[in-house]
């Protein structure tokens, strides 16, 4: 099989075409999501807060590369005035389970499933308030990622407090080396130790 069979080339090329508006995830962090997925090889993935779908595409590229995995995406659709954006139909065609419009907090508190990988880029003003419940959805040995962890959103500190309370391994990526990066917004990777 060639690299094209895994959709890696398409993913790598498309990253350069992703929007640079301030509401999207940074290119470096998208590559990190992809790399974490191909390294961990999770069977069940959850995305809280889809936005423009760039992190979604990174996870899908990792799933395609691994040949295993299913992705559930939850979004309140606030960015789209409660209407599904056109790209959701393409995500569904690729096998993504989309739960929308649903407040991410409502989903987190009612979900009984467990996941191996969770990407949270949801409701930045409040997501720290349900960090403990997000943690409860993650299987031991799994990885959680939180975008926009920093001073801009005061409740994001609650995510860090939850991680510290449990003593989980973590790393915060928030450094820029290029003028076109926005990594300072913060990308927290947490391993739920067994």
Report domain extents, the chain. Answer: 3-16+25-191
List pLDDT tens digits, range 108-139: 999 999 999 999 999 888 888 999 999 999 99
Specify the pTM: 0.92
Choice among 60-69, 97-106, 172-181 with the minimum mean pLDDT = 172-181
Helix (H, G, I), strand (E, B) or coil at 35: helix
Q: What's the confidence (pLDDT) of residue 56?
A: 94
Q: What is the pLDDT of residue 1?
A: 43
Q: Give the CA-trace dihedral at 103, 104, 109, 110, to 10 degrees.
A: 70
pLDDT at 3 over 50: no
- pLDDT value of position 178: 86
Q: Encoding tokens for residue 192?
A: 């739920």
- CA-CA distance, 133 to 139, in Å (whole number)? 12
Q: What is the CATH number of domain 3-16+25-191?
A: 3.40.50.150
In three-state secondary structure terms, 103 is coil
What's the pLDDT band for 163 if we cut at 50, 70, 90? very high
């Amino acid at each position: 099989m060639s690299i094209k069979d895994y959709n890696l080339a398409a993913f790598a090329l498309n990253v350069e075409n992703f929007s640079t508006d301030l509401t999207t995830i940074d290119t470096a962090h998208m590559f990190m999501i992809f790399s974490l997925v191909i390294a961990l090889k999770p069977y069940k993935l959850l995305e809280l807060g889809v936005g423009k779908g760039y992190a979604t595409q990174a996870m899908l590229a990792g799933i395609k590369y691994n040949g295993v995995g299913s992705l559930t995406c939850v979004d309140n659709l606030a960015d789209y005035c409660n209407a599904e954006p056109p790209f959701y139909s393409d995500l569904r065609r690729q096998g993504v389970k989309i739960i929308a419009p649903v407040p991410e907090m409502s989903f987190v508190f009612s979900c009984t499933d467990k996941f191996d990988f969770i990407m949270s880029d949801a409701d930045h003003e409040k997501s720290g308030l349900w960090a403990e419940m997000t943690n409860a959805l993650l299987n031991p040995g799994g990885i959680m990622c939180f975008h926009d962890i920093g001073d801009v959103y005061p409740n994001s500190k609650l995510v860090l407090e939850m991680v510290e309370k449990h003593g989980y391994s973590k790393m915060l990526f928030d450094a820029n080396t290029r003028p076109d990066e926005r990594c300072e917004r913060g990308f927290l990777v947490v391993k739920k130790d067994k």
